[in-house]
Amino acid sequence: MKVLLVSDVRKLGYLGDVVDVADGYARNYLFPQGFAKAATDNNIKSIAKAKAARAEERNLERKQLEKAAQAVNGAEAVIAAAANEVGHLFGSVFRHDIAKNLREQGFEVADEVVMLHQHIKEVGTYSVKLEFADDLTASVSVVVVPEGIDAEAFKAQQKEAAKEAARLVAELKAQEPVAEAKPEAEAKPEGEAKPEGESKPEGKAKPKGKAKPEGESKPKSKSKSAGKKEK
């Protein structure tokens, strides 16, 4: 169904926009929350002035967001947390912890712009995305250190550990034997071509029966006398 937005709804539209949504979404969420009304002509006309005023406000807000994103991009948030000897935190670091740390440094960062899909549960350095708008983002570095440990000393220790790990990996690769290339299989000699014109000797023809001389015929058998000789 088509509805009239009476406030900005992220990833749906701005105040004064007429949008098409599912009936259930409108009735169960947008209408009860006061985010939308029926898209009638009277309702559309009634918020025309509010729509123009809100558009000007959004332009100012956009400029402020762009300024905030540019300022915080590349910043570092250092957060101390209780951890055991192997670096596992006894709790977790949440998005509001990161936003609060950045605000304490003077950056304009709301909790909801911190894109932390999983809570941080280990000490270490993390790259975290800040999303001020769908098309406006920034990136910050979050360093989680054990409580009582100097942040700079911790970062230096991490760098040394990373260098040592890279060195060990390089040594292991250098020790790996280089696989020798297998020689190409020798081509089998093709069957020797038989010389042209040479063929297998034909089998000996069996001697045919002797031809009878022409005119010669088998002697006729003596015919029995037709009758007995007269006595």
Name all domains of the chain by residue range, CATH numbers in brackets. 2-46 (3.40.5.10), 72-173 (3.10.430.100)
The token pair at 183 is 């020689």
User: According to the model, what pLDDT value does residue 149 have?
Assistant: 83
Q: What's the confidence (pLDDT) of residue 183?
A: 61
Report the pLDDT value the prediction gives residue 230, as an integer from 0 to 100.
43
Distance of CA 34 to the CA centre of its chain: 40
Q: What is the pLDDT of residues 176-215, one digit of tens each?
A: 776 665 666 555 555 555 555 554 555 555 555 555 555 4
Pairing, β 88-93 against β 114-115 = unpaired
Q: Residue 146 pairs with which residues in a beta bridge?
A: 81
Cα–Cα distances in angstroms (integers) from residue 114 to residues 8, 36, 106, 136, in the given order: 20, 28, 16, 12
Is 60 exceeded by the pLDDT of residue 55?
Answer: yes
For residue range 124-162, what is the model confidence (pLDDT) as tens digits? 999 999 999 989 999 999 999 999 888 788 878 777 878
The residue type of 14 is: Y
Say if residues 143 and 79 touch (Cβ distance below 8 Å): yes
User: Are 1 and 32 spatial neighbours (Cβ–Cβ below 8 Å)?
Assistant: no
More confident residue, 59 or 157: 59
Q: What is the pLDDT of residues 6-38, one digit of tens each?
A: 999 988 999 999 999 999 999 999 999 999 999
Which has more confidence, 134 or 74? 74
What is the reported pLDDT for 164?
Answer: 79
Mean pLDDT of the chain: 83
How far lies 56's CA from each of 34, 50, 59, 61, in Å?
22, 10, 5, 9
Give every CB contact of residue 51 below 8 A, 6+ residues apart in sequence: 14, 15, 16
